[in-house]
Amino acid sequence: MARRTMSLLPQWSSRVFSVELDGAPHYFAVQKKHRGEEVPRLFGEKAQKHDRCYSLLVCSGDRVRRAKFYGELRDKLLRHLSPECDLSPMSSFLPNVKGSLIRGYFFKDSSGTSSLTERVLQDVIQRDPVLVCSYFRGEDGQVWTQRPWPPAEGQLIEMSEDYYVVPSEAPGYHPSVLNIINSDVFYSFEEAYEVLKKCGDIIPEARSVLELLPSRAEARSKPDFPVIVIEGLDATGKTTLTESLRDTLGAVLLRSPPQCLSPWRARFDQEPPLIRRAFYALGNYITAEQIGQQGMKTPVIVDRFWHSTAAYAIATAVNGPLSNLPAEGSEVYRWPSDLLQPSLVVLLTLDPEERKRRLRNRGLGKTEEEQELDHNHLFRLRVEEAYRRISGPACVTVDASPSADQVLQQVLLLIRGKCHL
């Protein structure tokens, strides 16, 4: 912990801190001298006179253990802190520096006595890789300072003095963008494999998944017949269309994630994003191996593939409006260089109200992300836009509102034009 903390210290005053309050990020920075800046909004509006604020940043050097501990820390704080402590997600980053984002939590203690809070924090820092800071209001109420917690003898010189808290401009994009590559979205077999391999000691099921993985040569094999991927949100008609295409073209129908991962999906869905996304990324390579084998004999239809994995991950990592997404053309949207590329990707789209009506009629249980689609309009827009921005190959959008047969005929025209079937 000390080594990781020391690596942060020389950059401390260059970092920006982001706290999510009421669904919106609030940004602040710290500096050694105060020049009359205003109090950042989250301190000026949200903190009362007797409140004390704290931040906890998870600083473990091992990103798998850091991801695991980040989720566990939230549960620990919610369980042990006073109900008057209002916990919010927090991050710290160096502007425009990829991979610089570290995550944690921010809270204010409104209990009027900090004894319980300090006991909880003391327990956390004794056992866990966490950098804790406390924040103090000046006598005039117009200045806040940040200092490491607890103040102790032998404190590192760089952190022995207070830093003044000042407002910071919002970055040009959501800070999570800095860590999307090979954290939320994986762009090679090796990157995703390394994450699950490191999970072997803490998640026994990871070993079973690794045993299913193909060799690299098999995952790269190019099939002789066309490979058509059908993408779209739930209830856009993917199942009906893919089964009709299978029957019409005499094709093989595959699904991603592959059936062989079903026994472990519920287990990995409980894991933090880094581990969960690596699991689903590797599922695409298993599907790619199946495509390579079947595509030597017949056309292959695939119900979802890498586009879904990436679009949902990007939309989840980056909250807020569409403007927070990585810019169009960003490397975030590139296809993995070692993953088999389909001949055609069709994205089925549907009016949101019609999609909800179809979901109600199906009466099926929904994943957490599909539930989020229903009540979060912005999340749905981010997913759909991320789909459209992925390249290599890009999606061809098809309106799924006509009858199933009309949609089938439209997609068959596309296949005949692009795949010569």
Work out the pLDDT band at 235, boundaries 50, 70, 90: confident
Domain boundary among 177, 194, 227: 177
Query: How does the average pLDDT of the chain come out, rounded?
Result: 86
Q: Residues for the chain: how many in total? A: 421
Q: Are residues 114 and 241 in the same domain?
A: no
Non-local (6+) Cβ contacts of 336 within 8 A are: 186, 187, 188, 189, 306
Tell me: pLDDT of 159 over 60: no
Residue 81 and residue 91 in contact, taking contact as beta carbons nearer than 8 Å: no
- Backbone torsion region of residue 99, taken as left when φ is above 0, otherwise alpha when ψ lies between -120 and 50, otherwise beta: left
Q: Poorest-confidence range of 75-84, 99-108, 151-160, 363-372?
A: 151-160
Q: Edge-to-edge strand order for the sheet containing 396-399?
A: 252-255, 300-303, 227-232, 344-349, 396-399
> Does 142 score more than 80 pLDDT?
no
pLDDT score of 21: 84
Question: Does 203 share its domain with 164?
Answer: no
User: Averaged over 215-233, what is the pLDDT?
Assistant: 79
What was the pLDDT predicted at 155? 40
Other C-beta atoms lying within 10 Å of the C-beta of residue 6: 12
- Residue 155 identity: Q
Q: Do 276 and 399 share a domain, yes or no? A: yes
d(CA 175, CA 25): 10
pLDDT score of 60 more than 80 = no
Question: 56 and 13, same structural domain?
Answer: yes
**Torsion angle (degrees, nearest 10) of CA 120, 122, 128, 129:** 120
| Residue in 192, 174, 198 with CA at minimum distance from that of residue 316 | 174
Q: What is the pLDDT of residue 245?
A: 97
Instruction: State residue 319's pLDDT score.
Output: 82
Q: If we measure between CA atoms, which residue out of 131, 123, 129, 127 comes closest to residue 106?
A: 131
Between CA 282 and CA 276 the distance in angstroms is 10
**Do 118 and 185 belong to one domain?**
no
Report the phi/psi class of residue 233: left, alpha or beta, with left for phi > 0 and alpha for psi in -120 to 50.
beta
In this prediction, what percent of the chain has a pLDDT beyond 90? 57
**197 and 313 part of one domain:** yes
Q: Please tell me the predicted confidence (pLDDT) of residue 373.
A: 61
Tell me: do 393 and 250 sit in the same domain: yes
Asked if residue 226 and residue 355 are part of one domain, the reply reads: yes
DSSP string, 103-118: EEEEEEE-SS--HHHH
Give φ, ψ of 257 to 5 degrees. -65, 150
> How confident is residue 29, by pLDDT bands cut at 50, 70 and 90?
very high
Is there a contact between 262 and 269 (Cβ–Cβ < 8 Å)? no
Domain count for the chain: 2
Residue 167: phi, psi to the nearest 5?
-65, 155
- Report pLDDT for 369: 58
Whether residues 173 and 315 share a domain: the answer is no
Q: Domain boundary residue among 146, 177, 208?
A: 177
Whether residues 327 and 209 fall in one domain: yes
Q: Are strands 16-21 and 24-31 parallel, antiparallel or unpaired?
A: antiparallel
Do residue 111 and residue 254 come from a single domain? no
Determine the structural domain holding residue 277 and report its residue range: 180-419
Q: Which of 137, 156, 177 is the last residue of a domain?
A: 177
C-alpha span between 23 and 88 (Å, rounded)? 10
- For the cut 70, the answer to whether the pLDDT of residue 22 exceeds it is yes
What does the alpha-carbon distance between residue 289 and residue 305 come to, in Å, rounded to a whole number?
Answer: 13
Residue 375 has pLDDT above 60, yes or no: no
User: What's the pLDDT at 154?
Assistant: 38
Has residue 161 got a pLDDT over 50? yes
When pLDDT is cut at 50, 70 and 90, the band that residue 286 belongs to is: very high
186 Cβ contact partners less than 8 Å away, ≥ 6 residues apart = 192, 195, 277, 278, 281, 336
Angle between helices 306-317 and 368-375 (to 10 degrees): 60
Taking each continuous run of H as one helix and of E as one strand, the counts in the chain are: 15, 13
State residue 408's pLDDT score.
97
Lowest mean pLDDT across 49-63, 165-179, 211-225, 306-320? 211-225
Q: Determine whether 30 is exposed, middle or buried from the number of CB atoms within 10 Å of its CB (0-12, 13-18, 19+).
A: buried
CATH of the domain at 193: 3.40.50.300
pLDDT computed for residue 382 by the predictor:
93
User: Please, are residues 229 and 344 in contact by the beta-carbon 8 Å criterion?
Assistant: yes
Q: Are residues 243 and 286 in the same domain?
A: yes
